[in-house]
Structure 1
C-alpha cells in the first residue's frame, strides 16, 4: 500500500481546471491502486500562513525560549512536514498565476522545506532527504508556456523537488485554456490523456 498526498492550490472551487485534473487523477489512481491511502490538503480552504518571524523562531530558538505563537507555528509546520514524510506519492495541483505558482503553494513549500528534515547541508552542497518518492505536478494555464521563458512553474518546482530528494517528477500541463477557439478543449484533452497514461 502506498500513501498519496494531494495538495490543491487553486483559489477557485468551481470551474477550476486544476481541481478537475486532480479529481481525474485521484479517481484513476484509486481504480488502479484500490489499497492506497489518499490524503487531500486544500490550501484554498485551509490556507497556510506565509513564512514569518513566528515560524522562524519556532525552528531556530531553543525549545525553552519559544513563545506560544512560535510553538503554534512550529506545530503547524511539523504537521505539514509529517504528511510529506509519510507520503510515497506527492501530487501538486498548481494553476499558473502570473507565470508562476499560487502564493498559497509557495507558503506550503516554505513550511516543508526544512533543513535537517527534508534536506540537509553537506560539505558538497545540499542533499535531499526524501529519496524514493514520486511527484506528479498538474498545472492549468491560460496560455501556452511549456518550454518557454515565460514558464516559471516547471523549472522552479523541478528544482524544489530535487532539492528535497524527489527526482521522479512528472508534469502534466493543461495549456491554452483561455486562448479561444479549440485551444481549451485541445489542451484539456491532452492533459487528460497524459493523466490516464500515468495513473
Structure 2
C-alpha cells in the first residue's frame, strides 16, 4: 500500500484564497464516488444532504460534527451542534468530478483519479474570504478527509473536535499571513 495510511498529509494554499488537499483511498472509483454523493455515506465523514445529479440544482448540506467526534466534548465555543448551508451543483460528472457552491461566494471541487489500485481524491476549496477562514477550512477539510480515509479503510477515526483543534493550530503555523 502506498501512502493510503498517511493521515498527516497537509493541504496547502493552491492559489490566492484557495486551499487544496489530497488523499489516496482504496478503489474502485465508484466506491469513493459514492462516499461523495450518497447522503448516508457522506454523513459518516462530512455532511448529510441529497446532492442532485444535475448542474444548476440546489441542495442543503447539514453538518453534525459531534456525531463524528462521538460527543460534543471539545467543540469550540460558537460552533453549533448542527449547521446547514444551501448550495448549488456546479458540475456533476460521475465518477470523476463534483463541484458545488459554498456560500456566500466560494466553491468546492472533488476530483477523483485512478492511481494504480487506489483513487486519488483532490479537494479544492476556492474563494475563501480571508486567512482566518482559510486556517479553519484547512483544518476542517484535513480532519474530514482523515475520517473518510478511516471509514474507507475500516480504521477507527480520531474524534473530530480533538483532531480539528490540533490541526487548526498546525494550519495557523503553515498558512502564510
Q: Provide TM-score, normalisation by structure 1.
A: 0.28
| Larger RCO of the pair (alpha carbons < 8 Å, separation 6+) | 2
Structure with greater proportional helix content: 1
